[in-house]
Chain A
Amino acid sequence: MRSKFLVVLSLVLLFVLTVNTVNGVGAEKKLRVAFIYVGPIGDYGWSHAHEMARQSLIKKLPWVEFLPPAESVPEADVIRFIDRFVREEKADVIFTTSFGYMDATIEAGKKYPDKIFFHCSGYSRSKNVGTYFAELYQIYYLNGLMAGALTKTNKVGYVGAHPIPEVIRHINAFALGVQEVNPKATVDVRWLFSWYDPSKARMAAESLISDGCDVLAFTEDSPTVVTVGEEYTKKGKPVYTFGHYSPMQKYGPNSCVSGQLVHWEVIYRDILEKIRRKVYTNTNLENVDYWWLLKEKAVELGGEFGVPINPKFIPALKDKKITDPVFGKISVYDLVMKRLSQMKANPEKFDPFTGPIKDQTGKVRIEAGRRASHDELWNMDWFVSNVIAKIPK
């Protein structure tokens, strides 16, 4: 029995060795890149978007060997997956794509100083661990402008996944947009404490609707909220929605106004090309932090790629006119387009988080004329004044 096991073991080792040497014969050694996902690839949200990006790069970057990704990796176990990728699969670069992986990624960086790690959505870095994020707050602000224009009840709802700074920031940006167009409207929030749970999302959305909300945005990795909006709209009680992360307009052609879309491949491509050119090495990532927005084309406005606003809603948005201190009398549609092109071309000109911004208690959080710093955005644990929900404490 034992000798059989040893035979098997040595055979496997031999096999591994041969395979590795055969691979090494090629001209350029391919960069071996691994991805670790927190959710299932099919979740139609966060992990799905990363996987789409990975797949789109397989053809474009022939000098990269993309290893099969690990999905649904629990936070508690990620270090073993990293170990496995480094030791068994000989990965050179590992992307860890959940904030819960932060500690483990830093630990892995110390353990494997000659490898390169990139952690998505965290804030800890070291000489071989960089961070990156495709940020959506500009898009949420634009969605908020439309929401403010479309609500008739002056009650806008938001289904939030977890009360962490990222989601709070997005709710605030959305609420700032609503406020700019419709100062009377309020934003209410329900928390799911789950990134992916359609039945919870349905209950939360229906609860918001029964409280009078007629426009909904959300952070949850399924098109449930859009589907709910479509059902109500078809029944004759219009509820407008904004898709999240993936193209969701097809789930609610009569309800989905616009949404947020992400292009992770832009960031991954940049990182990998810089690693190839030795711009990034295992010693200089201490300050490498991608924070990419509209300008870098890492994010896109729309419920469908290439469709910033569902054409069904363009007339309504053109009809709604407001007075802007800079542009004068302007339709919400034009305002959205102006802001979009501003933030695309030169975000220095306009940022949604420019003071004066007050929180719910009336305290000025960002003084007039000042812009929220990167750290303030990262750390956000307060709601702007027109949000009526509370952050769980």
Chain B
Amino acid sequence: MNFIIEILKATIPAGTPLLLGALGEIYVERSGILNLGVEGMMIMGAISAFGITTMTSNVWLGILTSAVVGGGMALVHAFNSITLKTNQTLSGLALTMLGLGLSGLIGKKYVGVPLPNKLHNFPIYGLKNIPFIGPILFDQDPLVYVSYALTFIFWFFLFNTRFGIELRSVGESPEVADSAGIDVSKIQYLAVFIGGVMAGLGGAYLSVVYAPAWIEGMTAGMGWIVLAITIFSLWRPERAIFGSYLFGGIRVLQYKLQPFGISPNLLNMLPFIFTILVLMLAAKEISRKRISAPSSLGIPYFREKLL
């Protein structure tokens, strides 16, 4: 039993950067924009959080900066895909390259530097004594609790507020939304910005809470897994939480499975193989339930065409 608790307890921090990123990308895609630059925004979030924390010894300031930097990078993509209406796939790829390159450039002097201050675990009084669930869910660091709250907030706003309705209608049909008087590009800009903020936070979690260290290219494909989780969650925040912890759990399990003599290289493939399998499952579910991706996903909206 203790063994299971230990694994699950380690799973949550491993899945948290993915969850943060996926929540944001769900909003982005709900608005009809595809941002493949999650990896680039995450790694920029990671280095900016690490750099600022090192300079100021204030972890929360570092985390805040990562959100701003992630959001700022996302605006580049928003400008490309909403204002200039360029190809969204290429713009996202470019963002990833820019992020990986620039973070390496900035991060050169932070390699091997110890973080002066880190977030400590903060067990929640009372809740942590709930059997089984308590030590798993409520003996974590503060940013994990923030991620719980954000999941709820993202769910609530998407399905229960006017902003959520507008966001979804823009993603489904910008023409209809436009004729209903919704400012399509404003909503899209906002969604893409939120996506960047969340990806930045995900990166910050990696560098100032989880590792805590700066390593060049430390996101190591997580940004792409975030995109897969977004699809797996069928663009619903409450489902993203399961997808993210599933992947977190696989990462933790790798080290638990090593003693059974399976090659660590083969174990390292697991998250990536699993991504493909999960996408296949999601595809089945999508076709069975007749759910579809936001129907204008990745297609620029030209207002002129309406007039």
Contact = CB atoms under 8 A, between A and B. Distances in A.
Interface of A: 40-45, 48, 72, 188, 190-193, 196-199, 202-204, 206-207, 210-211, 221-224, 251, 388-390, 392-393
Interface string B207-222: 0001111011010000
Nearest to A192: B264
Given A42-B112, A198-B215, A222-B112, 11 more contacts: A40-B108, A72-B216, A191-B258, A193-B265, A197-B215, A199-B211, A199-B218, A203-B251, A210-B3, A251-B114, A392-B264
B264 A42 contact: no
Contacts of B108: 40, 42
A388 B256 CA distance: 14
Contact of B111 (A43, A207, A211, A390): A43
A319 B15 CA distance: 44
Contacts of B148: none
Contacts of B10: 203, 206, 210
Given A198-B211, A210-B3, A224-B213, A190 B255 contact: yes
B106 to A, nearest CB: 13
8 closest A-B pairs by beta carbon, nearest first, are A42-B112, A207-B255, A42-B111, A198-B213, A40-B111, A44-B112, A210-B6, A199-B211
Contact of A190 (B110, B114, B258): B258
Given A203-B14, A203-B255, A40 B213 contact: no
B190 interface: no
Contacts of B218: 199
Contacts of A204: 255
Contacts of B3: 210
B100 to A, nearest CB: 14
B211 A48 contact: no
A42 B110 contact: yes
Query: Which secondary structure dominates chain B's binding surface?
Result: helix
B255 A48 contact: no
Given A196-B215, A222-B112, A191 B264 contact: yes
A199 B213 CA distance: 8
B277 interface: no
A192 B206 CA distance: 18
A48 B114 CA distance: 14
Nearest to B261: A390
B138 to A, nearest CB: 16
B268 interface: yes
A192 B251 CA distance: 12
Contacts of A193: 264-265, 268
A197 B254 CA distance: 15
A223 B114 contact: yes
A191 B218 CA distance: 18
Contacts of A223: 114
Interface string B168-211: 00000000000000000000000000000000000000100011
A318 to B, nearest CB: 32
B162 interface: no
Contacts of A390: 261
A43 B216 CA distance: 11
B290 interface: no
Interface centre among A72, A202, A207, A388, by most chain B C-beta atoms within 10 angstroms, is A207
A207 B264 contact: no
26 contacts: A40-B108, A40-B111, A42-B108, A42-B109, A44-B112, A192-B264, A193-B264, A193-B265, A193-B268, A196-B215, A197-B215, A198-B212, A198-B215, A199-B210, A202-B210, A203-B251, A203-B254, A207-B256, A210-B3, A210-B6, A224-B213, A388-B259, A389-B258, A389-B259, A392-B263, A393-B263
